[in-house]
Amino acid sequence: MFGYVIANPDALTPEQLARYKGAYCGLCRTLKARHGSLSRLTLTYDMTFLILLLESMYEPETDSGSERCAVHPLRAHAYTHSAVTDYAADMNLALAYQNCLDDWKDEKRLASRAEAALLRRGYDAVKELYPEKCAFIERCLAELAEIEARGEAKPDAGAERFGALMGELFAYGGREDVWTGRLRRFGCELGEFIYIMDAVLDLDADMAAGRYNPLAATAAGKTDEELRGLLNMLAAGFSEAFELLPVVQDADIMRSILYSGVWIRYNAEMSRRRDGGRGARPQTKGE
């Protein structure tokens, strides 16, 4: 359910796009430094948003530079780095490891089992740094798996658990300070939106294949417009929570992501359906 909190390049100025790419490259560079080269394969844009938000909130000391890498060997790319980048890299690794375990348990994907084995050492290191946070994430994912296994008909159950997981990610490090409650609330609201968005996009395919989908019972007979209305209501929740945060740095980039970028996959899928199913289907669930 990751890969929704991304930027729409067409909605950013060249300067904003450069800043966004710099944070992303810094995250990639930090993953390699902290967890080895293979960990860069787990990189997600969702954690780039986390970096922008937490750096705006906490204003850590930041360094920058440019370098070539294996992905971009011909031209040096600018990057930025801070303590927040380290935290985001650790959370990126933890989520990737847990996702691989879930794929192995649910679908017996040998590739996922092998990837989890490769990431295990890094995850153990992250868990040593953030034992309570990792335990909370593990618990949320286990509860989500139980909700799916029993075929829970109420979508709120899974949405609340995934929202709680996201809220924990946005609560920076192991600290509890004046901003933790607001950040956790924002993460929860955003997580609930993502969970339902993912369910909306997968609904037809899941029902055709007989797979669990949290909206299967409540979405019967609803039009795409009615489901869009549900998503708009959830989007209003995370938008309100975001506007209560005292962000200044990169605020316009984050608003662009929240009010435009998070809809990219949804709009692409709706366009595909209007075209009668022609064109590539947007990937979901980290495929």
pLDDT cut 90: percent of the chain above it: 73
Query: pLDDT (tens digit, 9 = 90+) per residue, 1-57?
Result: 788 999 999 999 999 999 999 999 999 999 999 999 888 888 989 999 999 999 999
Q: Please, which residues bridge with residue 42 across strands?
A: none
- 103-137 tens-digit pLDDT: 767 667 777 778 888 889 999 999 999 999 999 99
pLDDT band, very low/low/confident/very high, at 278 (cuts 50, 70, 90): low
> Residue 248, CB half-sphere, CA atoms under 13 Å: how many?
2
- In 3D space, the residue among 76, 17, 99 whose CA is nearest the CA of residue 52 turns out to be 17
Task: Indicate the range of 67-71, 131-135, 249-253 predicted with least confidence.
Answer: 67-71
Q: Where are the domains of the chain?
A: 9-274
Give the C-alpha separation, 170 to 257, whole Å.
16
What is the rounded average pLDDT of the residues 164-188? 94
Q: Chain-wide mean pLDDT for the chain? A: 90
Give the global pTM. 0.91
- Distance of CA 146 to CAs 106, 139, 149, 264, Å? 12, 11, 5, 30
Whether the predicted pLDDT of 89 surpasses 90: yes
CATH for the 9-274 domain, from 3.20.20.150, 1.10.10.10, 3.40.50.1000, 1.10.600.10: 1.10.600.10
How many other C-beta atoms can be found within 10 angstroms of the C-beta atom of residue 218? 15
Q: What is the pLDDT of residue 253?
A: 98
Which band of pLDDT confidence, cut at 50, 70 and 90, is reported for residue 277? low
Give the span between the Cα atoms of 63 and 83, in whole angstroms: 10
Check whether 69 has a pLDDT greater than 90: no
Per-residue model confidence as pLDDT tens digits over 192-236: 999 999 999 999 899 999 999 999 998 878 888 999 999 999 999
Give residue 260's pLDDT band: very low, low, confident or very high (50, 70, 90). Answer: very high
